[in-house]
């Protein structure tokens, strides 16, 4: 059985205390870092300097989600800065295969993200070059949005491709993941779960991570 992975999103943490936030979720699997440029999405967050500082401050693997224009140019630098997984959007990329290969050459896993309205099937062949598929379960740009269950067929489709041996990758979901929604995402076939406010708004973020992992584990197909 696949073991679920929890990736708390620091978008919901106190930006003045990111190292402390990372320490509070030391039992997580990845630390999710949302990079937004105010162009691809209407929000501005953090960039390379913060990723470098986080890499020095925590042993958690950094899961960088680039919601930016021109990821072909910028994505490899996040791998060089210490990210363990660098994900960019197919909607913004000009040459996703070359960018994935550059990320891998720089020492990180390569991830491809799709927005809720983007179909999966046209990119199944491209995904052979990737280690992670990130299915957005909200519109990218802001935390705290409501989970969109209507995108779960894409998760199921990706899991079918993995089970058949056509793909080998993590299937990650991001957006609105909490105790009420994680089981549906897990049952559909996701194995990496990004959770922001469900973790960092809890009295004990570490315990929240464990509780989410337990819920996902119960719901995952045998």
Tokens of 157: 């489709």
Please tell me the distance from the alpha carbon of residue 167 to that of residue 130, in angstroms, as a whole number.
Answer: 9
Distances (CA, A) of 67 to 71, 142, 152, 178, 192: 8, 11, 21, 22, 18
Q: Which residues pair with 95 in a beta bridge?
A: none
Q: Which residues pair with 166 in a beta bridge?
A: none
Q: Single out the catalytic residue among 34, 37, 63, 131.
A: 34
Q: Single out the catalytic residue among 29, 37, 63, 174.
A: 174
Verify whether residue 174 is a known catalytic residue.
Answer: yes
Residues present in the chain in total: 222
Verify whether residue 59 is a known catalytic residue.
Answer: no
Q: Are 34 and 215 in contact (CB under 8 A)?
A: no
Q: How many CB atoms lie within 10 A of CB 12?
A: 19
Which residues are catalytically annotated?
34, 174
């Amino acid at each position: 059985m696949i073991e679920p992975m929890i990736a708390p999103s620091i978008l919901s943490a106190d930006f003045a205390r990111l190292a402390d936030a990372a320490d509070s979720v030391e039992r997580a699997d990845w630390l999710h870092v949302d990079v937004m440029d105010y162009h691809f999405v209407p929000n501005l967050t953090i960039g390379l300097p913060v990723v470098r500082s986080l890499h020095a401050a925590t042993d958690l693997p950094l899961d960088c989600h680039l919601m930016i224009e021109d990821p072909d140019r910028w994505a490899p630098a996040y791998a060089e800065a210490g990210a363990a997984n660098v994900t960019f959007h197919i909607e913004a990329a000009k040459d996703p295969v070359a960018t994935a290969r550059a990320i891998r050459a720089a020492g990180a896993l390569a991830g491809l993200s799709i927005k809720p309205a983007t179909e999966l099937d046209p990119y199944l062949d491209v995904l052979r070059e990737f280690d992670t598929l990130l299915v957005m379960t909200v519109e990218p740009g802001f935390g705290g949005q409501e989970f969109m269950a209507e995108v779960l067929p894409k998760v199921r489709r990706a899991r079918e491709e993995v089970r058949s041996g056509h793909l080998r990758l993590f299937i990650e979901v991001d957006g609105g993941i909490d105790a009420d929604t994680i089981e549906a995402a897990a049952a559909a076939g996701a194995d990496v779960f990004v959770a922001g406010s469900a973790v960092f708004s809890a009295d004990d973020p570490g315990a929240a991570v464990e509780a989410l992992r337990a819920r996902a584990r119960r719901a995952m197909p045998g």
